[in-house]
Amino acid sequence: MVGDSEERREREEELGRGGDVRLVVPAAPEYLRLVRLTAAGLASRLGFTFDEVEDLRIAVDELCFHLLGDVDDPDPSGEPRTMDLVYSAGADFIAISGRTSRTGDVAEPSELSEQILDALVDEHEVSGSNGTVTFRLRKQRES
């Protein structure tokens, strides 16, 4: 059993270091819960505090809003749209990127939204081009 737990610890360290988690969900508000939960789950493994996890969840919400767009707005191919998220866990940070295929206009993030995200995470960016909208964020653990 000693071997088992050691193996598990190694695996966890590996995850903590660089293992990516990918999540693909329909681009609908109902699925934001899963998106947040995954972020919170990873962040808590990295030792983020309650406050930091809360910040991360709000930031993820805020950024995913840009992917959601108009819910009825279909994928260019006509399929229901999805949001593709990649969570990367570093030793003391988490980075999340998201993308969706979307034809509608991409709203410029408002000044308020920028300000809010500045307060919540260390880096954030939203961009859209050629029918694809992407975002990325990075949040460092404090201590």
Contact 16, 25 (CB under 8 A): no
Nearest alpha carbon to residue 23 among 78, 96, 94: 96
Other C-beta atoms within 10 Å of 69: how many? 19
Contact 67, 133 (CB under 8 A): yes
- State both tokens at 113: 């939204």
Instruction: Kindly state the smallest distance separating residue 114's Cβ from other proteins, in Å.
Output: 10
Please select the residue that binds other proteins; options are 23, 27, 48, 67, rule is CB under 8 A. Answer: 48
Binding segment toward other proteins, per CB under 8 A, in 83-91, 113-121, 122-130, 132-140? 113-121
Nearest alpha carbon to residue 12 among 42, 33, 38: 42
CB-nearer residue toward other proteins: 42 or 95: 42
Amino acid code (one letter) for 28: A
Binding segment toward other proteins, per CB under 8 A, in 2-10, 12-20, 36-44, 88-96? 36-44
Binding of other proteins at residue 73 (CB under 8 A)? Answer: no
Please select the residue that binds other proteins; options are 11, 14, 18, 37, rule is CB under 8 A. Answer: 37
Instruction: Return d(Cα 103, Cα 92) in angstroms, integer.
Output: 36
**Bridge partner residues of 134 (DSSP):** 99, 127
Binding of other proteins at residue 92 (CB under 8 A)? Answer: no
Instruction: Kindly state the smallest distance separating residue 73's Cβ from other proteins, in Å.
Output: 13
Site track for other proteins across 6-35, x = CB under 8 A: -----------------------xx--x--
> In a 10 Å sphere around its CB, with 0-12 CB exposed, 13-18 middle and 19+ buried, how is residue 113 labelled?
middle
Binding site for other proteins (CB under 8 A): 29-30, 33, 36-37, 40-41, 43-44, 47-54, 57-58, 61-62, 65, 107, 110, 112-113, 115-116, 119, 143
